[in-house]
Amino acid sequence: MKPEIRDWLQNNYFSVARPVLKNSADIYPLILASQQGRSDVVRFLIEQNAVLDVLDQYGNNALWAACYADNSDCIDALINAGIDINHQNSASGATALIFAASSGREKVVEQLLAAGAGPGLKTHDDFTALDLASTRKILKSLSKLVKSGD
């Protein structure tokens, strides 16, 4: 284990001996590392067989956290490891793509679409990523997919 990963685990109150387990604050290291854009830690945790379907207190997975961090390396690592790209949180039904579209993360939207994220999924309020697109570029990217039927 690299010293910087050991330090990160210790500084965030995770077990060095069992690094994939939650800390005393009930936070999963995969979620926090993704949220912080720590692709080195995310890759390490994946190598340690971290469970990919863990959720934060809002029902979001690590992919959502990586999208929040706007970190393409974390997003790639999680997608390549097999995380559910279309996970819908229980609170609103939003996916990582819907979040990225609504928050103007243009590169993240492109990355998720290229990896196969479903643009037609809807929130509990019946909104798609296209409905919530917050920039012209995102609107155009999603509109092309909807028109082509993807």
Tokens, residue 65: 């956290």
- In this chain, the answer to whether the domains covering 1-84 and 86-150 adopt an identical fold is yes
- Topology of domain 86-150 in CATH is 1.25.40
Q: In the chain, what are the domain boundaries?
A: 1-84, 86-150
Q: Tell me the three state secondary structure of residue 47.
A: helix
> What is the C-alpha to C-alpha distance for residues 109 and 141, in angstroms, rounded to an integer?
8
% of the chain at pLDDT higher than 90? 95
- What pTM, to 2 d.p., does this model score? 0.94
Does the pLDDT at position 148 exceed 90?
no
pLDDT in tens, 83-140: 999 999 999 999 999 999 999 999 999 999 999 999 999 999 999 999 999 999 999 9
Contacts of 127 (CB under 8 A, 6+ apart): 98
- Name the CATH architecture for the domain at 1-84: Alpha Horseshoe (1.25)
**Res. 12 pLDDT band, cuts 50 70 90:** very high
